[in-house]
Structure 1
Amino acid sequence: MSQLFGEVAGDYHEARPDYSPEIVEAIRAYHGGTPGALVEVGAGTGLATQMLLTLGAPMTCVEPDRRMARVLAARFPEVEVVTVPFEEWTPPPGGVPALACALAWHWLDPATRNRRSYDALTPGGTLAVFAHRYAYVDPAHAAALEAAFESADPQQFRDRSDDWFHADIADSGLFADVRSVPFRRAVPLDTAAYQRLVSTFSPQLRRPPELRERVLAAVGAAVDGFGGTVVLDLRTTLVLARRPA
């Protein structure tokens, strides 16, 4: 499933919202400055990479899907790209001072992701995990879009809570000073942009082609029905944790 998105590697970078630069400043403040090196796990096509590079640390990106990794390497030649699942990646001797994971924590093996992250970090190293939650500014738009999705495909996929990974990391018992930092912003999308975004979601990619088209038509009609623009209430949660020194 972690390689599901390679099918839309060309569109993913343009369709998905970017990340607030405030995330970088929060990581820097928590770490106590710029880390000596940073590894990003599940980097995809580099949406978070683009932001994380502003930390100023040498970066390595671990990405299992070769199609995504090719796009990533072409966009960011200054980054070392390792095309391998996180579960098969070998950290450098002594570990790394910072490890980041954007919108990919749920794709990592839940039985090992915390232990592997802990083992990959140097003592005192920083773990930074963050993800978006796609909600809507207008409750009426949210209801209309939920109805549109269900009209096309009654089998819906339910989201987890905004900061579910905070509990996952804290409950592992491996990390110290686990904290959540929320970010929130409004992102307007026209009908075509919203359809393009939906086309990169994993539930949509799991659907057969004919059902995908029905879903896109239904949500497109819904957005057109309220003026051709939907405003996302984009909620981003950053969870920071430290390997004890």
Structure 2
Amino acid sequence: MDVFGSVADLYETARPGYPSEIAEEIVAYHGSAPASVVEIGAGTGKGTDVLARIGAPLTCIEPDPRMAALLATRHSDVRIHVSTFEQWSPPPGGADVLACAMAWHWLDPATRNAHARQALAPGGTLAVLGHRYDYADPGQRAAIRSALHALDATARERPTDWFHQDIVDHGQFVNVRKEVFRRDLPLDRQRYLDLVRTFGPYLSRSPEQQQAGLTVLGRLVDDFGGTVVLDLRTTLVLGHRP
């Protein structure tokens, strides 16, 4: 999960935040004000921004020291553990709320659900959330996907809301519920390319492949009149530890 440390500052400025209503949804689902919240893979604090609205003592786990350092400047009142979730030791009795924003896929698929359950207090709440980036204009979607496919035909997207199905299928949590928030996000050429530069698939490519992708996408945005409108889908999945 330390792939993003090299672009920590860009990640903070380019990535969109989360709807503020998510904090209210978590508290309502939990049934009362939680006594503690732990966030897995906090990064620079995009998820932390909304989790802090809950008002409970907040612990953030972030394995990349560069991301954690930026997080500390933005949220000086949270406790930060620079480690992986697997290396972190839960507090005695477990956390009331365990949250994970855009990092569930970085955890070991074979153990993440069981490990999350073990980190929670009995009756505790799991809250997994993430963005899905699509395009409001079907023409923009088709052109961009076609161009990216031409650059790399092996690239695959995870199914929409895949982590909801993952949590349901593993059976570690009960009363699993999904909430979806949507909004249009217009981006000019520079803001769109900056966002692309923070994506894991982009960062995992060679410098030559990265530049080729930015060049192609930049030309497309110019063809669109200088603006791309994203259909930003934010999914929140909630579950209780029995």
1:141-191 C-alpha deviation (Å, 9 max, x unpaired): 00111123234x224422112211112111212111011111111000000
Residue 52 of structure 1 deviates from its aligned partner by 1.0
Between the aligned partners of 1:125 and 1:167, the Cα distance in structure 2 is 20
8 A Cα contact 2:62 2:68, kept in partner? yes
Q: Give the match for residue 78 of structure 1.
A: 77
8 A Cα contact 1:24 1:55, kept in partner? yes
Q: Give the match for residue 40 of structure 1.
A: 39
Between the aligned partners of 2:212 and 2:220, the Cα distance in structure 1 is 12
8 A Cα contact 1:162 1:235, kept in partner? no
Between the aligned partners of 2:155 and 2:147, the Cα distance in structure 1 is 14
Q: Give the match for residue 138 of structure 1.
A: 137
Between the aligned partners of 1:233 and 1:172, the Cα distance in structure 2 is 29
Instruction: Compare 167-176 and 95-104 and name the one that shifted more.
Output: 167-176
Between the aligned partners of 1:107 and 1:121, the Cα distance in structure 2 is 19
SS of aligned partner of 1:185 = strand
**Matching residue within 198, 201, 206 for 1:200:** 198
SS of aligned partner of 1:23 = helix
Q: Give the match for residue 112 of structure 1.
A: 111
TM-score (norm 2): 0.97
Q: Give the match for residue 64 of structure 1.
A: 63
Q: Give the match for residue 179 of structure 1.
A: 177
Q: How does 1:1-245 map to 2 (within 5 A)?
A: 2-151=1-150, 153-244=151-242
1:73-121 C-alpha deviation (Å, 9 max, x unpaired): 1111101010000011100111010000000000001111111110010
Residue 34 of structure 1 deviates from its aligned partner by 2.1
Between the aligned partners of 2:76 and 2:109, the Cα distance in structure 1 is 31
Change (3 A) 1:139 1:156: farther
Q: Please, which runs of 5 or more residues in structure 1 have no aligned partner?
A: none
8 A Cα contact 1:162 1:237, kept in partner? no
Between the aligned partners of 1:216 and 1:34, the Cα distance in structure 2 is 45
TM-score (norm 1): 0.96
1:176-221 C-alpha deviation (Å, 9 max, x unpaired): 1011111111000000000000000011001111211111111011
Instruction: Compare 66-75 and 125-134 and name the one that shifted more.
Output: 66-75
Residue 15 of structure 1 deviates from its aligned partner by 0.5
SS of aligned partner of 1:98 = strand
SS of aligned partner of 1:86 = coil
Between the aligned partners of 2:37 and 2:50, the Cα distance in structure 1 is 12
1:49-74 C-alpha deviation (Å, 9 max, x unpaired): 01110111110000111111111111
SS of aligned partner of 2:86 = helix
8 A Cα contact 2:43 2:67, kept in partner? yes
Q: Please, which runs of 5 or more residues in structure 2 have no aligned partner?
A: none
Between the aligned partners of 1:5 and 1:156, the Cα distance in structure 2 is 22
8 A Cα contact 2:149 2:155, kept in partner? no
8 A Cα contact 2:61 2:85, kept in partner? yes
SS of aligned partner of 2:60 = strand
